[in-house]
Structure 1
């Protein structure tokens, strides 16, 4: 079976989307506990194993951007692939994740 390649988005591209107030759904693919400690502004907590249950609440035509802990964390790519397998058309993976975002001193939120 042919598997679609996951497209990525860089820190600068994501930051530009925030600055331009673009519409997108930001998905934190880490555990709920990690999300509660710190997450990117406006992100939804949807751990990889919960995507199938949650997907029905999202518009398949909306842009979805996934992220996780950082470049070494596979969860954001797994989440992006899961969204794509469910028919979401515009999915991007922010590989730098919370680690890169925090290292560049951009604000995070906590629950």
Structure 2
């Protein structure tokens, strides 16, 4: 027990020495981290000016403080029917997109979502971008990345599963599929 207390006290002392040293520049230690990362011998030099990390941190804070930015299929349909300008970004595989996708969606597979050519296709005027994947998980990751880059992105809650009438998916077992029920809205196939 005495050894555990000693180790904990040592860790606490180290924490009190490191944290103030990282926070002395008024930017919560971000520039210290950047300068350390750019020091010789620490891998490739970062080409991004240290100030950009403050902007990214502010966007990350705003994104996390606002609850993840998801939209349910019913709400998305209402917005689509009302004629609201939306950019639907389907990040599933091209083959699955071609089989069935939400009308008006554009295929930008997850692995290619942050490539400059694909980012250039996204609206920069504040138009909501709705990311669509299979279950909502990967769309949430893409949503976070796009928000950090300054886009107005949202993820479709439960992905295409939440949009379709039903989806066969292995949820509780890697061997047995279950039927997952969704909203039952229409999809279209690529010609």
TM-score (norm 1): 0.86
Q: CA deviation at 1:45?
A: 0.7
Superposed CA RMSD in Å reads 1.6
The structure having more radius of gyration, on CA atoms, is 2
| Alignment correspondent of 1:67 | 132
Query: Which among 114, 122, 145 is matched to residue 82 of structure 1?
Result: 145
Do residues 105 (structure 1) and 191 (structure 2) align? no
Distance in 2 between residues matched to 1:44 and 1:76, nearest whole Å: 14
What is the deviation of 1:38? 0.9
Corresponding residue number in structure 2 for 1:48 = 110
Large movers: runs of 4+ above 6 Å: none
**2:73 corresponding residue in structure 1:** 11
Tell me if 1:33 matches 2:95: yes
Distance (Å, rounded) in 1 between the aligned partners of 2:108 and 2:160? 15
List gaps (5 residues or longer) in structure 1.
none
Q: Is residue 48–residue 78 contact of structure 1 (8 Å, CA) maintained in 2?
A: no
In structure 2, distance between residues paired with 1:40 and 1:57: 18
Where do 5+ consecutive residues of structure 2 fail to align? 1-56, 166-182
Q: Secondary structure at the match of 2:103?
A: coil
Task: State the shift of 1:96 in Å.
Answer: 2.2
Q: TM-score, normalised by structure 2?
A: 0.52
Cα 1:48–1:85 shift into 2, 3 Å = farther
Structure having greater relative contact order (Cα 8 Å, sep ≥ 6): 1
Task: Give aligned pairs, total.
Answer: 108
More helix by share: 2
CA distance in 1, matches of 2:141, 2:110: 7
Q: Give the conservation status (yes or no) of the 8 Å contact 1:51–1:82.
A: no
